[in-house]
Structure formats: structure tokens, C-alpha cells
Chains A and B, each alone.
Chain A
Amino acid sequence: MQGLLVAIDDLAIQRAKAGDSAALGQLYRAYESGVYTVARRICRTPEDAEEVLQDTFVEVCRSIQRFRGEGTGSLTAWIKRIAASKALMLIRREKYRATDELHEDYLEVGRKVDPDAGLRMDLETALGKLSETSRAVVWLHDVEGHTHEDIAEMMNKSVSFSKSQLARAHARLRKWLGEGALC
């Protein structure tokens, strides 16, 4: 999650913990873009990402008084984790499990028959073509800085699953971005 757009200080955190709605609103303004970005990178549609954004902040408002960390650093990590969990929860739903495999199969076929398959894709497009699970692992590990243990716990999967998803995702990105043959 990149830099905050609105400054949050310790006083604002304390006020938010006491249930001050203006402080909670300030928190929302500061983190809405970061949370939406995480959600959008993991979920397939903007509507799903918006749902994750809303669920994340409902959870933040509900639980902030139990937040024991200090400073914006730990608050950011806490909110980020809620956002990631909500997004992963959403992609775990049955409809995603079904379309996930379909999506990857489609890509396999697409590469064989599409004469333009060898053309360079931009990073956003390539990222969007990964399955939700692979994309989530890449984003959470390489951008948000979660460990494989963390991701495995959030996804309710094994550490080796997270590692293999990351390697698989990078291999695919490597091909689609037109960087030459794999090692």
C-alpha cells in the first residue's frame, strides 16, 4: 500500500478508537485508495473490489477499539491484513473457484491459437490475466510484503502452495511480458 493521501496521527487513531466518527472518516480517506488498490488487484471486477473496500472499513469501525498496535505503521499493516483477508474470502467463494480454472484453461488455449499471443502485453493486462489466486499471491507477497506463511494462513492453504503459486505466476508474467524464453 503506497503513501497515505491524508495524514493520520496518533491522536486521530486514539479518537477513532474511541468511536469518533470524524476520526473514522479521516481514517477512511487516508486508506481508501490503498485498500481499494489491494482489493482491485486481487478481485476480478471493480464491483467486487468496492465490496471488499466496504467490508474492510465496516470491520475497521467494528474492531478498531480492539486494535492494540501503536502508530500509523502498525495501523496500516492491520488494515492491509483485513483488506487482504476480505478479498481472499471473496475470491474463495464458489463462483470464483469455478471460473478460476476456466480462466487459466482459456489462456492456455488462447496462446496456442492466437497469432498475437507473442506480442508484448503491458503489466496491468498481464496481471489481469492471471487467475485470482496467483494474482493475489504475487500482489500480497511481492508488493504488500506478506510472507508465504502469512499468505498460507489467510488462504487456508499450505506454505508450499503459496510458493508454487508465486513461481507459476512469475513464469506466466515472464512469458506474457515478452521477456524471452524461460530458464
Chain B
Amino acid sequence: MLIHCTMEELIAIRDGQGSEAARQHLEGCDRCMAEMELLHQRVASLKALPNLRPPRDRWPEIQTAVATERRKKFRTFAGWWSMAAAASIALLVGIGTVVVGHRAQSSELVGLIEESQHLESILRTIKPAGRVMNGRMASTVVQLEDRIARLDEVLEELHRGKRTRSDELENLWRRRIQLMDALVTTHTVRTASYVGF
């Protein structure tokens, strides 16, 4: 009795993985050859199906979801960094060369972390929750918090890494200080205009 190739065997042959026996059968069998041709045609037809368009624009929802997530993360990180920064300082001061190669560089990093921590504490005092701000200012705050949150993700990753370069860390902490400074300034201006009003 002649045993033809199964669908699984035909697919395997098409993918270059079929058994030698199945290949030999295929070469001599018109019926299986025709099946193989149908398989090729079917896959070609699947590939030729047109791309589909989503019924509506999802980008605004995606942006909102991402922004909400980042702001939430920023708030969580703000608290986390205060503790982590304190721990890093203790570690760096105690050992001297955990993250960086030289004591001078470690103290630079310690200084940057302390400065960032200081800005965090200022932010906590001048940012009363629930106060109304105008749309432009709110957008600036969201953007700054977003950028700090993204930077925090990178910093978190680098602080976990064993081969992190100290200059890389220092640059990122400097960048964080700049952004925190801008955020503090934005909130200070907002508070001042609120008092003035």
C-alpha cells in the first residue's frame, strides 16, 4: 500500500527538516507534489492578505497610560531613592571604591546623590498635593517627571550592574539634578504665583 506524506511531513520538508524517506517519496509522487504546491500557494495567499487598520487611533490612550505609569513610578522612586541614596552613601563612604575606582571620584558621586536627595526634600516641602496649576505648567511638570522617571530606570539598572563606570553614573546623576532643579523651580514659580494671586 502506498503511504503518502502527511501534512506534518510536507511542512517539515518545506521547512528543510523532513526525513530522507519522506523526501524520496515526495520526489516520486505526483499526488504529494500537488499537495506541496497547494501548501505553497496557501502560505503565499496568507502572506498576501492585506494589513489591517485599527478602527480608531489608540495613541492618545497609550500616551495617557504611559504617562500615568511613569508618574506613579516617579513618586515611588522618589521615596526609594531617598533610602537608596542614603545606603549608597554609607556604602561608598565606608568602602570607598565599591562603585568607582578612586576615593576622589566616590566622593563626587556621593556629593551628587546628596544634592539630588536635597532637591527631593525641597520638592516634598513645596509641592502641596491637590493644588491647581494651569495646563502649560501641568504639562511641564508631567514632562519633567517623565524624564526623571526614565532616568531613574537607567540609574537603577546601572547601580545594579557590577561593571558600571563611575563617570557614566556621575553624568546621569548630574542630569537628574538638572531635571530635579527644573522641577523644583517650576513648582516654586507655581507656588509664588498662587501666593501672589
Contact = CB atoms under 8 A, between A and B. Distances in A.
B11 A163 contact: yes
Given A174-B38, A183-B4, A33 B51 contact: yes
B63 interface: yes
Contacts of A170: 7, 11, 39, 42
Nearest to B143: A21
Interface string A126-157: 01000000000011001100000000000000
B150 A19 contact: yes
Given A124-B49, A163-B8, A183-B31, A36 B42 contact: no
A182 B110 CA distance: 73
B54 A50 contact: yes
A159 B156 CA distance: 36
A62 interface: yes
Nearest to A18: B150
Contacts of B39: 170
A17 to B, nearest CB: 10
Most buried by A among B4, B150, B154: B150
B146 interface: yes
A50 B56 CA distance: 9
For the complex, would chain A's binding face be called helix, strand, loop or mixed by DSSP majority?
A: helix
Interface in A37-88: 37, 40, 46, 49-50, 53-54, 57-58, 61-62, 65-66
A183 B58 contact: no
A32 interface: yes
A138 B49 CA distance: 13
A32 B54 contact: yes
B7 A36 contact: no
A33 B52 contact: yes
Interface of B: 4-8, 10-12, 31-32, 35, 38-39, 42-43, 45-47, 49, 51-56, 58-59, 61-63, 65-66, 69, 146-147, 150, 153-154, 157
